[in-house]
Structure 1
């Protein structure tokens, strides 16, 4: 599965990292994606070489010669600055700022593959930012090259710095006497021993010193000393054995990373299952409340029928006070009686609305609608929080409009002649809608229609009708002119309110439930991929 060559093993780890990136990106693990990018950089450039030296030590020429890239530190790429510069291979050359002290330069040169080079500025800047460099680069470095000018390797700042880091990083230090072509062979031998003495005095037991000439190496002339240095670095820091150790360490870190990622996925899965359960519960609640709302509506409409029956009796009793003489000779008395009856019917309608319809509507809204909508809204907020955890965008929906409708205060609504009604209805939108209806022309229209119909009834022989027939005709008039119209308006108001609240919320909850179910399917698929990848990583042996 993994292949036998180093390249095949690296390709497997690269594929593993890409799989993890895909999973982490899908579920919003942005920090994990950043961590995986660093893993990928380590895989592509597994060896970190950090270079220190004084400004006049020929450090830039040394880097060009060591890496075999003559123009690496020329001005056309502008690498050599007073910043810490991280140099790595990239297909697309670019330069970017990492922080206030560090920048990264990508160079499209295959000779850089496998390496990351940290080029530090002059030693004075190194001492100034000692803590930063020590924390950020030295622990990760495979080898630390200290470049000294061969003519004068004795300067105090560089050896003070070696003294500060020797205890922790002495085994990584390799001393480079650059510009050996500027001193005689005899002097060079003495300088090599002197550098070893300085190093031992600072706790480095077996210091390695390599005299080199970047000038000779770049010209391809004479013994530049770079062959010995490269051989030493390969045998001790950058060879195949070290590559395998690097791959093993990276594999172990990826196993731990995958296990953490798997834990996060499983936590999201458990949270999703809980959310799914709560959404299902609130969906069932909304369904029950819709059935309860239907019963409330039917009860409300029956109350209108009961009120019409009571009103029929009262109107019949009033009409019985009109005599045949009044009907034939006292027309003005009949008109006056009908006017009084109109006022009485309007008052009965007002009282019925205030003491029966409004309390029932408020109870319906407060006891049925609001609790269900509030609970649904809480679940939808949980859904939003969950989606954000998954790194998914939440499309704006209308549930906030439903909530705002409940929270709106109707205390400022003005209805002609309806101040008392506004005070009675409080914050109920249903009650408010009903009172606005009755405060307008509706009540006048229906009572006017009733009186007109009663006038016709009186004109065709009121006195001679039997009471049973009279009551039936009265009931028909009142039921048609008041009851049916009032029930139609009530039914319309209730249905509109249900559509705005319970039905809307039910649609939102159902849609969110479907999304959560899709999320769970995706999480399950991701978990299966991670479990499979974890097994492969555990079986991988570089």
Structure 2
């Protein structure tokens, strides 16, 4: 039966090692070196004995406590007189006693002590030590530990640095902890009773249910003086850890530690997902704003064209009626007689004047109407640009650049967003961002105004250029046709041709006015939108990469989460 249980345990360990290997790969993909090292240590220690990690402040009596617990009669864990020279000491089972220095801050001590077949002991420097690297090295052992033995001075177990370190152990890693008040021989019975209760209450305040607090004296234990307190402690260890329980407990602890790490990753990924969703909404909002404002501007163009055509129709209708009336037989006869005996111009002169009046009316009245409308259009587009600029500046930041796992991702996003703001500011300030050679023919006349305006102000100058052009060249056909016809008319047939030709050219000019103005303005609006969109290229590339990365990381996390949950249930 024991062999069967052992085989099952080995198989479960092997399976957990594979899961933790996947977890390690996930931390590497995330790019968090410290967490990757923690997971690597956890994986390496799966097959090691149940690990006691002894922590506490300098001079709390940790090393003396370890020596008394091992009961070898030797000073295995040396109490260094100077914390500056202290090291972490990992004490494990070995057939013969020896020491191996792993690095200047860590050494392994092998001892042929029976209890070390089931447990390993790690004696750490003080939590308030000033030795470089000691704190970080100590913290590397915490995630892979199976039981934290927190040693306090029996006379003063309330130092803040010790309890701050406890918050890291319990809050961050949920490690099982027992509390030891060492050097109880230096405290009075009243002090000891008060401090035991004080530590118990403090532990409860920090979220520990039913804390185990032991008061011991390593000095009494090593001198075989009764009431050292070690008997009660050893009984706890026998009932709760050793005697065949340790391997299964260690396995369960490793599962919990792996889950804790995976939960941290989950929390970070959740923030990254929230940030990605916020950025996606921001980008969609920009798109919607551009679409809405572009649509609104295009409607303004349609209204502008409609208003111009209404003015055009009124002018040409009036001139057409004047032409028809003047070209009637009665009208021509009357004009012929009047021109012979008076100052009334003859037909050819009158027709030339009518053509000139038509040109003046079209240029004057159409330009006035166009002028009013382009001002509204320019203000609308300028407002769109300002709205987008405001949205960029107020985009939501969820993932901060001090995040424990994804600070580099947050910083890269921050840089991309800052570049977007800077680039858009440069875009808005450059005149050429809002100019368009296709929109007007005579660029030279606009150059001084554009130079004076600069940036978004150039938009109004460009659009106003429409009202300075010769009615978009749409009346040329009418006037030319009328002039040719008028120059050679002499018969009744030609009179009809003049009226019909005039009416036909009015229709052609009307269509050309509508088409030319609508095409130029809507093309300009579309070009401007494309230019605005180009500012978001790098931001869009960032979103594309983040979407792919999140899908991979979240998928790996969920697989590991499910496997660890299954192991946790089966182990329980």
> Of residues 329, 341, 346 in structure 1, which corresponds to 2:363?
346
Matched-pair contact (CA < 8 Å) for 2:51–2:146: yes
Alignment match, 1:132: 161
Deviation per residue, 1:239-275 (Å, 9 max, x gap): 7533533433443565677679779979998998999
TM-score computed with the length of structure 1 as normaliser: 0.53
Alignment match, 2:464: 436
Deviation per residue, 1:98-140 (Å, 9 max, x gap): 9865633759xxxxx989999999x79x949634335646996
| TM-aligned CA distance change 1:296 to 1:343, over 3 Å | closer
Provide the secondary structure at the position in 2 that maps to 1:48: strand
TM-score computed with the length of structure 2 as normaliser: 0.51
Provide the secondary structure at the position in 2 that maps to 1:348: helix
> Of residues 514, 523, 528 in structure 2, which corresponds to 1:492?
523
1:344 deviates by 3.1
Aligned counterparts, 1:4-153, within 5 A:
4=7, 12-20=15-23, 46-50=51-55, 80-81=82-83, 101=129, 103-104=134-135, 106=137, 127=156, 130-133=159-162, 136=165, 146=182
Structure 2 portions without partners, runs of 5+: 92-100, 107-123, 139-143, 171-175, 201-211, 435-442, 447-455
> Of residues 242, 245, 250 in structure 2, which corresponds to 1:241?
245
Q: Distance in 2 between matches of 1:473 and 1:51?
A: 102
1:488 deviates by 4.2
Matched-pair contact (CA < 8 Å) for 1:88–1:115: no
Q: State the aligned residue count.
A: 468
Q: Distance in 2 between matches of 1:101 and 1:4?
A: 43
Alignment match, 1:173: 216
Alignment match, 1:460: 487
The answer as to 2:194 corresponding to 1:192 is no
What do you get for the CA RMSD once the two structures are aligned?
Answer: 7.4
Aligned counterparts, 1:271-420, within 5 A:
307-314=311-318, 316=320, 342-354=359-371, 361=377, 381=395, 385=398, 391=406, 392=409, 394=413, 395-396=416-417
Q: Distance in 1 between matches of 2:136 and 2:548?
A: 45
Deviation per residue, 1:458-478 (Å, 9 max, x gap): 773378643533424642784
Matched-pair contact (CA < 8 Å) for 1:146–1:174: yes
Matched-pair contact (CA < 8 Å) for 2:26–2:557: yes
Q: Distance in 2 between matches of 1:331 and 1:484?
A: 33
> In terms of mean alpha carbon deviation, does 344-353 or 297-306 score higher?
297-306
Matched-pair contact (CA < 8 Å) for 1:402–1:500: no
Q: Distance in 2 between matches of 1:511 and 1:16?
A: 31
Matched-pair contact (CA < 8 Å) for 1:59–1:147: no
Structure 1 portions without partners, runs of 5+: 108-112, 149-153, 181-190, 209-228, 419-427
Higher relative contact order (CA 8 A, sep 6+): 1
Q: Distance in 2 between matches of 1:510 and 1:85?
A: 49
Alignment match, 2:255: 251
